[in-house]
């Protein structure tokens, strides 16, 4: 018996009316739900019910629904644990209440200092001549040591690494250096902001005294204030992992490993304190066993980003097609379906976990439009189609909610 309420709920990230992919197009991708945010509201301000409703109306007008907010971003004073954070936490609570009032019950967020996901290359040509995002630690070191000139950075690299980084920077033209800088210092997703070197250095200075332990405490404080409100209004919070999942540019990271995620869910136990399981971000580390993490953390997973990265021996990685790359997506999907089965068996809600593809390649089909990096049309469409086919195939083979 086909029972589609047990399937993963296919969603698509849309950056709002200025996105090069339209809602009408999204409707034809197989996605049912939209993942979006009010990117035009400055981080830290309250999202009014009216603004939320306007965005929701646009989505519902084409027959889709606003399933997930990605993201309500967290103000830097909260991450740094400064006294002003309490006002921003109150604002965050109010935004959650307003979202709940409109029936929007799932919120993705991250706790990465200053930057969101970070890459060194946005158009890395792969085998089929499409373009992928890439992270190359040598390029990052080159930027950090010879362009940003971050104080203390030289102590973090071996003589060999410094040499390689210098050779890399010397091989670049002025324009290539500028592109590298802009790529690394791009601000939040859904905006075209890029930090200047001075602005970025100022941000780094403000993190001077904040190490991993302190950042983790600041996250726990945030959760203690936010989760009770989320629970009261029926919102599920889903923290997104760090990308890449290790410290960069001298900034600490606390959402990179299974132990990190375990600390987070244990710090304020609640059905509202959950995870966005992003296989692409977590897959940046070879020591993250992704199917095992789904098995062990499954009950806390509220949202899935299923994408793949290909890691190389030199520590670099690039975004692979969704079913290729270093992560065995088949095993991940099997673990996810097992978690859904468990939820059905214990009569728990939230079986149709929202899932989205992520970071599609830029294909020839996509050449004439200006997409946010990673958010191409056809590239992601391929990813979503592959993931849905994989899901259906596994269900049929295992006869789980499928004949």
Q: Is 43 a catalytic residue?
A: no
CB of 49 to ligand DNO, least distance (A): 22
Tokens of 183: 């790529």
Which residues have a Cβ under 8 Å from the Cβ of 22 and sit 6 or more positions away? none
Q: Is 243 a catalytic residue?
A: no
Of 19, 278, 361, 366, the active-site residue reads 278
Nearer to ligand DNO, 106 or 165 (CB): 106
CB of 309 to ligand DNO, least distance (A): 12
Distance separating alpha carbons of residues 156 and 315, to the nearest angstrom: 15
Of 75, 359, 366, 372, the active-site residue reads 359
Q: Is 65 a catalytic residue?
A: no
CB of 297 to ligand DNO, least distance (A): 17
Of 300, 302, 305, 361, the active-site residue reads 305
Q: Is 375 a catalytic residue?
A: yes
**DSSP class of 367:** T
Nearer to ligand DNO, 278 or 351 (CB): 278
Task: Tell which phi-psi region holds residue 316, choosing left (phi > 0), alpha (psi between -120 and 50) or beta.
Answer: beta
CB of 170 to ligand DNO, least distance (A): 31
Burial annotation 209-233 (CB, 10 A radius, 16+ → b, else e)? ebeeebbbebbbbbbebbbebbbee
Q: What DSSP letter does each residue of 137-206 carry, written as one string?
A: HHHHHHIIIIII--TTGGGGS-HHHHHHHHHHHHTS-HHHHHHHHHHHTB-STTS--B--HHHHHHHHHH
Tokens of 384: 């979503």
Of 121, 203, 240, 300, the active-site residue reads 240
**DSSP class of 362:** B
Nearer to ligand DNO, 52 or 186 (CB): 186
- Contact footprint for ligand DNO (CB under 6 A): 70-71, 108-110, 116-117, 189, 240, 278, 305, 358-359, 374
Q: Is 358 a catalytic residue?
A: yes
Q: Is 240 a catalytic residue?
A: yes
CB of 359 to ligand DNO, least distance (A): 6
Nearer to ligand DNO, 117 or 401 (CB): 117
Q: Between the CA of residue 205 and those of 140, 141, 185, 251, what are the distances in Å? A: 19, 18, 16, 10
Nearer to ligand DNO, 36 or 181 (CB): 36
Catalytic residues: 240, 278, 305, 358-359, 375
């Amino acid at each position: 018996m086909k029972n589609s309420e047990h399937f993963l709920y296919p969603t698509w990230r849309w950056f709002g009316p200025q996105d090069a992919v339209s809602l009408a197009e999204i409707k034809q991708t197989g996605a049912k739900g939209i993942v979006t945010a009010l990117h035009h509201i400055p981080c830290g301000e309250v999202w009014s019910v009216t603004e939320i409703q306007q965005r929701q109306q646009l989505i519902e007008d084409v027959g889709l629904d606003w399933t997930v907010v990605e993201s309500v971003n967290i103000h830097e004073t909260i991450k740094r644990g400064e006294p002003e954070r309490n006002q921003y936490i109150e604002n965050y609570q109010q935004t959650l209440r307003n979202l709940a009032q409109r029936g929007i019950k799932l919120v993705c967020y991250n706790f990465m200092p200053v930057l969101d996901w970070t890459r060194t290359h946005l158009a890395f040509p792969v085998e089929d001549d499409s373009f992928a995002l890439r992270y190359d630690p040598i390029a990052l070191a080159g930027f950090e040591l010879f362009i940003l000139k971050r104080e203390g950075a030289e102590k973090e690299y071996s003589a060999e690494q410094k040499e390689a980084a210098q050779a890399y920077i010397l091989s670049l033209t002025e324009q290539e250096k500028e592109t590298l800088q802009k790529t690394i210092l791009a601000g939040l997703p859904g905006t075209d902001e890029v930090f200047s070197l001075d602005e970025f250095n100022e941000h780094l200075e403000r993190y001077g005294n904040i190490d991993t332990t302190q950042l983790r405490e600041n996250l726990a404080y945030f959760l203690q204030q936010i989760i009770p409100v989320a629970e009261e209004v029926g919102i599920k919070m889903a923290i997104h992992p760090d990308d890449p999942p290790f410290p960069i540019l001298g900034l600490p990271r606390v959402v990179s490993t299974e132990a990190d995620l375990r600390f987070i869910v244990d710090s304020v136990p609640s059905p509202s304190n959950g995870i966005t399981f992003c296989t692409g971000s977590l897959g940046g580390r070879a020591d993250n066993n992704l199917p095992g993490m789904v098995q062990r953390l499954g009950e806390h997973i509220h949202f899935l980003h299923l994408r793949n990265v290909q890691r190389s021996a030199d520590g670099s990685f690039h975004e692979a097609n969704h079913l290729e790359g270093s992560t065995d997506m088949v095993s991940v999907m099997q673990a996810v379906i097992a978690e859904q089965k468990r939820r059905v068996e214990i009569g728990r809600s939230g079986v149709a976990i929202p899932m989205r593809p992520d970071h599609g390649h830029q294909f020839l089909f996509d050449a004439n439009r200006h997409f946010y990096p990673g958010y191409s049309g056809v590239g992601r469409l391929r990813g979503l189609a592959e993931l849905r086919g994989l899901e259906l195939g596994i269900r049929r083979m295992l006869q789980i909610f499928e004949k």
